[in-house]
Amino acid sequence: MTHIVHRNLREAPPIAASGRGIWLRDASGHEVIDGSGGAAVACLGHGHPHVVQAMKDQIDRLCYAHTALYSAESAERLADMLVGHAPGGLTHAYFVSSGSEGMEAAIKMARQWAIESGQPSRTKIIARRQSYHGNTLGALAAGGNAMRRAPYAPLLSDAFSHVSPCYPYRDRRDDESEADYVARLADELEAEFQRLGPQNVIAFCAETIVGATLGCATALPGYFPAMKAVCQRHGALLILDEVMSGMGRSGTLHAWEQEGVTPDIQVIAKGLGGGYQPIGGILVHGRVIEALTKGSGTFKHGHTYQAHPVACAAALAVQEVIRDEKLLDNVKAMGALLEQGLTERLGNHAKIGDIRGRGLFWAVELVQDRASKAVFDPALAVNERVKKEAFDRGLACYPMGGTIDGKHGDHVILAPPYVCTAAEIGMIVERFGDAVEAALARL
């Protein structure tokens, strides 16, 4: 008997008992490789001694002080590490407790920027279909994941509208070059600005790599520069959601470093604290902060647990490990092995439509057959079947997708910790390959 509202109300999950490195063990003793770090969270795996010690030290000194009264040393040091060198012109950080809270902060800061830079008519945000920005009502309204939105649609603000994501696997026409497809997407964004009135748009908002809805869908070269050009033409901001794809997951600290653009506001979370504590945040361009500083001089927002000292100490320690152990090099090297292994093992499977990703952030899209790319009936829950087969074989992976709009297939994400070795990648590929084949064979 459980008294917790679990995701599945009919079947309680196993109790996670302990974690070491890339391994997780449940109360029955069953051990699995944490092959997706939860939902691309546990970037250092479990129990990293430097992070654990940093948390203990912080807890011994100070657990909590409200940000209306104090700042915490760990928060100051974390901000300094992230934006002290102003990457891409990002000069300020604001810390909250999750990715969704980060999105809410990004949305509200962008609106406040509009007001305080003398442009109060800007009230609309353009985001993308088949995207996910979080489950709080503002973030959910920004998101374009049809299945997650559907039950709550009557509660979602109409300040948000949606254009197509960059999803060449399904959306690029056969007779269209990549450049023409990108140009078509830029035209679509331009048309949406015109429909809303360019003077009414606060920002365009996108995941740099689409995670939970499309499964590690990277943009084509030139896509983000083309989208940013549209924003700049109309004086609107670019908000990049790197909650899943950021903080090293793609092989560079920020996924936008590989896209040829810099955001005005960037949302971060998962890899920031690696799951050691709940923490997310936004990194903000100097000109946005300048408008608020010269204007009201406050950010009209706040949460009781923002910039929590222990969460910031944990995140600081995680980022120190990524830097000191040169883990971005390992993300690139192990990512190349993972891509190669998945391609060799599953690349010719009749029901694997696409294998895509970057760094240590990879997904397979599962389809009824490769030629038609027909999606599975969501009732079959193919992604969940793969998850279960993998779990039984000692591998945790992240099942996503399932569609009510037929616009994308089931997919399963692998996002191993940045500390994984070549031998561990080999085990992940083997267990995952076996699980996918078994799940598809049993349909």
- Under the rule (CB under 6 A), what is the footprint of ligand PMP? 39, 98-100, 103, 132-134, 207, 211-212, 241, 243-244, 269, 280
Instruction: Tell me if 98 sits within 8 A of 280, measured CB to CB.
Output: yes
Q: Which is nearer to ligand PMP, 62 or 146 (CB)?
A: 146
Shortest distance, CB of residue 102 to ligand PMP, whole angstroms? 7
Instruction: Tell me if 189 sits within 8 A of 165, measured CB to CB.
Output: no
Instruction: Tell me if 419 sits within 8 A of 324, measured CB to CB.
Output: no
Q: How far apart are CA 336 and CA 251, in angstroms?
A: 10
Q: Which is nearer to ligand PMP, 99 or 399 (CB)?
A: 99
Q: Which is nearer to ligand PMP, 38 or 286 (CB)?
A: 38
Shortest distance, CB of residue 204 to ligand PMP, whole angstroms? 15
> Which residue's Cβ lies closest to ligand PMP?
99
Q: Which is nearer to ligand PMP, 201 or 212 (CB)?
A: 212
Q: How far apart are CA 322 and CA 247, in angstroms?
A: 9
Q: Which is nearer to ligand PMP, 100 or 368 (CB)?
A: 100
Q: How far apart are CA 86 and CA 97, in angstroms?
A: 23
Q: Pick from 217, 215, 219: which is nearest to 238 by CA?
A: 219
Shortest distance, CB of residue 246 to ligand PMP, whole angstroms? 9
Shortest distance, CB of residue 215 to ligand PMP, whole angstroms? 11
Q: Which residues contact 124 (CB under 8 A, 6 or more apart)?
A: 159, 160, 161, 196, 200, 201, 202
Shortest distance, CB of residue 295 to ligand PMP, whole angstroms? 28
Shortest distance, CB of residue 183 to ligand PMP, whole angstroms? 26
Structure tokens at 324: 């000191």
Q: How far apart are CA 256 and CA 291, in angstroms?
A: 24
Shortest distance, CB of residue 138 to ligand PMP, whole angstroms? 11
Q: Which is nearer to ligand PMP, 275 or 309 (CB)?
A: 275
**What distances in angstroms separate CA 380 from CA 6, 68, 133, 226, 349, one per listed residue?**
21, 50, 26, 38, 19
Q: 70: part of which helix (H) or strand (E)?
A: none
Q: Which is nearer to ligand PMP, 267 or 331 (CB)?
A: 267
Q: 207: part of which helix (H) or strand (E)?
A: strand 201-207
Helix (H, G, I), strand (E, B) or coil at 24: strand
Q: Which is nearer to ligand PMP, 210 or 440 (CB)?
A: 210
Instruction: Tell me if 22 sits within 8 A of 33, measured CB to CB.
Output: yes
